[in-house]
Chain A
Amino acid sequence: MGNLTDKPELNEKKGKIGNLDSPKNPFDYSKRQYGTVPLDTDRAPFQWVSEVAYKNVHRIVSRGYDTSEVMEEGYGIVDMLFIDYQARIPLVEEEQMLNYVMILALEDGLSMPAVMSRMVARSKTFLTQAAGASILAFGHAYGAYSAFGNRLEHYLDIAEAEGLTLEQAAELLVKENIHDEALGVSSLMLKDPAARRMIARAEKLGVAGKYIEFTKEIVKAAQNLSEEPIGLDMMGATGATMLDLGFSPEATWAILAVTRAFASGAHYIEEVERTESCRTGQTLTPKEFYDGPEDRPVPPLKDRDKVAKSGICHTIDEWTEAREERKKIVGSGHSIVEEIEDPSKKSGIKKVGKL
């Protein structure tokens, strides 16, 4: 297929169009072809390539296991997670541990995923839309399992390369990341034993490994450095346990975000049951919430030249000064810096925060 064609007559009829004939362009626009690109027969045709699963008319097969056969043999959803993500049947103890983790990860009260699900629900949507939205709450602070896990792996790599003990590696990690939301150590679980119990259960089941060991060292190092009382939190306990169960940081992120989405469905349902839908323009924002510029008259359009200010900065100094001013405009984005990288193997953002 494909019909790539030169159409000199059409191009001629079109004549000059804006800047498209500028000699500064690295092309001659008037000679460009129309039509679609023929199928590439030199290479293999496109197919959905997957190491994870295939299906045909009769079967669905994940990592070599027919999923119907897996269920008929008495395995379940938790086993399937090991199959899909790790291409293996888990030990009974590993299956028990993941069940445990997922129960703890299922519900977190009116936290962000639930709130997002509820907000979407108020717009009269499908439940699936709300469940999907709840997953978007998982970032590099809330549910930051990718950031947590990749950091552990990074410092374990450093320890190996530089011959550091776990204790030394933990001290280095804490020194460089003490304020990070995904440290796994905080004041959040000082009165709640759930995180510590999770680690105890992993040890009892014999599934605790180097990540839990390292996390314990991180807790000690952080406690030594902090002036406030802190301890292992759910991020640390869950993240380390999942890594010891063999899940990658990204797989952990995915599995726990999806686990929470099961609960977001209940929050969606309750929101629909107990509140009204919200219409366009319905929600007011009281003036007392507002701390922007005072109310002011819109200048007549004819006076635009008198009131307009150019945003163009011609020198670095001008730019620096303007930038500082712009940082004061809350909501402009100038006070935020992010280093966004390809998150294929890492957490996706090297650094996020205020300047």
Chain B
Amino acid sequence: MDREPLIRRKTAISYKTEEKTVMRGYDLSELAEEGYSFSDALFVMYQNRIPTEEEEKMLKYEMGVFMEHSMSPSAVAAIGVSAGRPNLPCAIAAAVSTFGGVHGPGAAHGYMLNKYLERAKKEGKTVDEMAKTLVDEYMDAGRPVMGMGQPQHIDSDPRAEPIHLRQEELEIEGVYLEFQRALEKHFHARRKKEGRSYVGVNVVGSGNTALMEIGFSPNAGWCLGSVCRGFSCAAHALFNMKKGRAWGASRNEPMVQMIDLSMIKYVGPEDRIVPKQEDRQEHARREKEKGEYKKWVI
């Protein structure tokens, strides 16, 4: 059996021999035998260290509360992909890949915090002053402040504040939580002053703050969140694969299905005649000159 490396790389993460698999110097089997948790192993993986008990508890809480979120873009993607009955990993991969600039933007939130903390250091400002600067700069520019607001939990994300509270209870609050709390304070104050409705912190705002506080980089935190959601999305895909109808269009189901023909609403150009090939060039030229097509260009 060929056991040669698939690619040649120097790596500081792990090595694997016939005798053992070693991650950041620790034999994985030894790590498990000693009774460490999966959350502990993630600290070793990303930070090359065994965490304190409080840090381990925080990560366990954050991932646990983030894992399941019923119907979000990630679960919908998993269910949509599963409708064609590919192998299950395809549905999970799609779900994890939905995490971007809006859905669970953990890295974006982390980079935002780091950028403004760096500025605070450079400009000699306090955490509170810099949080106000952030809020003003974002809101003046009409940009959404990362970590605030959730389209479904409109009166405050049920996961968010409890994460902050758990972080405080575990006494692992540091500069990130201080900054995030200040950011929320100035955000709320400005919206109130402008007569706008209350928008609470979301799970990225609080959860990612906690992850950054316990030493994860923006991308590592993003990985922990988005991949952990993959667990629940797989469950949603599996439920649909095992107990639902493939395709999602059957007319024999008592409920209209996900992609039943009646679910399609069309708002594009009117029905029209396909030009014959002999008329094609003239038609195409006219269409291009008129330019009406531009309003449909995406």
Contacts and interface: CB of A to CB of B under 8 A. Distances in A.
B222 A128 contact: yes
A137 to B, nearest CB: 8
Contacts of B260: 37, 40, 46
A148 to B, nearest CB: 14
Contact of A68 (B6, B159, B253): B159
Contact of B85 (A45, A271, A342): A342
B242 interface: yes
Given A50-B71, A78-B38, A36 B264 contact: yes
A183 interface: no
B189 interface: no
A44 B255 contact: yes
Contacts of A94: none
B6 A112 contact: yes
A80 B255 CA distance: 30
A149 to B, nearest CB: 12
B145 interface: no
Nearest to A102: B38
B223 A77 contact: no
Contacts of B40: 103
Given A40-B260, A60-B68, A103-B32, A68 B38 contact: no
A258 B5 CA distance: 22
Contacts of B162: 68, 71-72
A164 interface: no
B118 to A, nearest CB: 19
A254 B32 contact: no
Nearest to B225: A128
The range of chain A's interface size is 35 or more
B71 A36 contact: no
Contact of A109 (B16, B93, B237): B16
B239 A51 contact: yes
A310 interface: no
Nearest to A100: B32
B29 interface: yes
Interface of B: 1, 5-7, 9-21, 23, 28-29, 31-33, 35-42, 45-46, 60-61, 63-65, 67-71, 76, 79, 85-90, 92-100, 107, 152-155, 158-159, 162, 166, 217, 219-220, 222-224, 226-228, 230-232, 234-239, 241-244, 246, 253-258, 260-266, 271, 273-274
The 5 closest A-B pairs by CB, nearest first: A265-B223, A254-B234, A109-B16, A76-B60, A132-B97
Given A60-B68, A77-B228, 14 more contacts: A7-B271, A13-B273, A34-B271, A51-B239, A51-B243, A84-B232, A99-B36, A106-B28, A126-B99, A135-B230, A250-B238, A261-B223, A265-B224, A343-B87
